[in-house]
Amino acid sequence: MKRYPAFEFPEYVDWRPDPAVQAEFHARTTADPQRAALIGSLTTPQLLALYEGLVRARLHDVSLKRWVKQGVITKAWLGSGEEAVTIGACAALEPADVVGPMIRNASACFQRGMRMAECFAAYLGTTDSITGGRDLHIGDPACGVIPPISHIGDLVPVMTGCALAFKLRGEARVALTWTGDGSTATGAVHEGLRTALSTRAPLVAVIQDNQVALGTDRTCSFPGDFAQLGGAYGMPVHRVDGNNVLDMFAATRLAVDHARRGDGPVMIVARTFRMGGHATHDEREARDLFPAEVFAYWGQRDPVGNFEAWLQAHRGVEASTLAALEARIEAEIDEAARDALAKRATHEPLPETVTHGVYAASPER
């Protein structure tokens, strides 16, 4: 795909596929027989839909970064470099399933059918988003996206509750959520997992190990192995290359099938890397957290570039097909960004509505 020197991480600007990394990417798609069978059964339109999801997620972030640089917004939380963890997982779900995305998984919103302009509106604080301009943690239950709150970890018990409700109602639906490596430090994550286990709720819990939480290297906060943690809970665990959308898709499909059959929760441990900062404001400081070689290593494992190269090398997809798809998404995102910006003239929140939807106990009672 096109690269955007002003808005992308340095490793992505002159990105070219590396034969050794491509071989590694392909090997991952054949290593596990069950996953390989699922990947092998994907049709070209299904593969292109995965590519489309990755490109849309990347271009969404490029637009946000552009707004930051233009001073439209002060900062943005990006998922660039981690797109495959979200896009692969969403592709493995049925429309009636629900997801609980954290900020790194914003692409789950539009992947599940929310309008891109609404996602941008949340950043601009205009009233045409589900929170009426109050919060950028958005979702839409009508699209099967449970809006998160800022508190990390709390989505696990919430999504366990959704999964348990499905089970009690006898519905063959699954709830999936993503939890960052750092967020596993919260009690809520473990209470949620334990409840899902004891009730055999159809929950798929993705641990998105991007190896850092705010400014803390993961090896300092949790030197252990998340897969062993899941194992200690007696949960089936799938280890995934989080930068390989095919691996993520196939592992999630296996996990979802297990949960949907009534066999209880499953953990997926997706290893990836946060190429940027916690948000755009600390990108420079984030560069000091790891040696340059670590950024180079993960930069070469760009989930979009490697999938694109794989599609051409292993599925004979023409570069012109990919370029046409990309141009369509680019136009769609530009239009959504324009629409969202235009709404600032007509959809500013009214000051007198500030207490709407705010609940508190009256001090007089």
Beta carbon nearer to ligand TPP, 126 or 184:
184
Question: Are the C-beta atoms of 108 and 145 separated by less than 8 Å?
Answer: yes
User: From the list Mg ion, ligand TPP, none, which binds 112 (C-beta under 5 to 8 Å, kind-based)?
Assistant: none
User: From the list ligand TPP, Mg ion, none, which binds 68 (C-beta under 5 to 8 Å, kind-based)?
Assistant: none
- DSSP H helical segments within the chain, as ranges? 10-13, 19-30, 33-40, 44-70, 83-91, 107-111, 116-124, 155-168, 187-199, 218-221, 226-232, 245-260, 283-287, 292-300, 303-315, 319-342
If one asks whether residue 186 binds ligand TPP (CB under 6 A), the answer comes out as yes
Nearest to 138 by CA among 125, 124, 126, 122: 122
- Give whole-number Cα distances, 236 to 156, 227, 228, 240, in Å: 17, 9, 10, 13
User: From the list ligand TPP, Mg ion, none, which binds 61 (C-beta under 5 to 8 Å, kind-based)?
Assistant: none
Q: Total number of residues binding ligand TPP (CB under 6 A)? A: 16
Binding to ligand TPP by CB under 6 A, coded x per residue (else -) over 40-69, reads ------------------------------
User: From the list ligand TPP, Mg ion, none, which binds 266 (C-beta under 5 to 8 Å, kind-based)?
Assistant: none
Q: Which residues lie below 8 Å from residue 104, measured CB to CB, with a gap of 6+?
A: 77, 79, 82, 85, 86, 178, 180, 208, 210, 274
Report the interface residues with Mg ion, using CB under 5 A: 180-182, 210, 213
Nearest to 204 by CA among 191, 188, 192, 212: 192
Residues 254-283 that bind ligand TPP (CB under 6 A): 274, 278
Among 213, 255, 270, 329, binds ligand TPP (CB under 6 A): 213
By beta carbon distance, the residue nearest ligand TPP is: 180
Among 50, 89, 92, 152, binds ligand TPP (CB under 6 A): 152
Binding span for ligand TPP by CB under 6 A among 130-138, 211-219, 309-317, 321-329: 211-219
User: From the list ligand TPP, Mg ion, none, which binds 126 (C-beta under 5 to 8 Å, kind-based)?
Assistant: none
Nearest to 161 by CA among 196, 194, 134: 196
Residues 187-206 that bind ligand TPP (CB under 6 A): none
User: From the list Mg ion, ligand TPP, none, which binds 260 (C-beta under 5 to 8 Å, kind-based)?
Assistant: none
If one asks whether residue 137 binds ligand TPP (CB under 6 A), the answer comes out as no
Q: How many helices (H) and strands (E) are present in the chain, helices listed first?
A: 16, 7
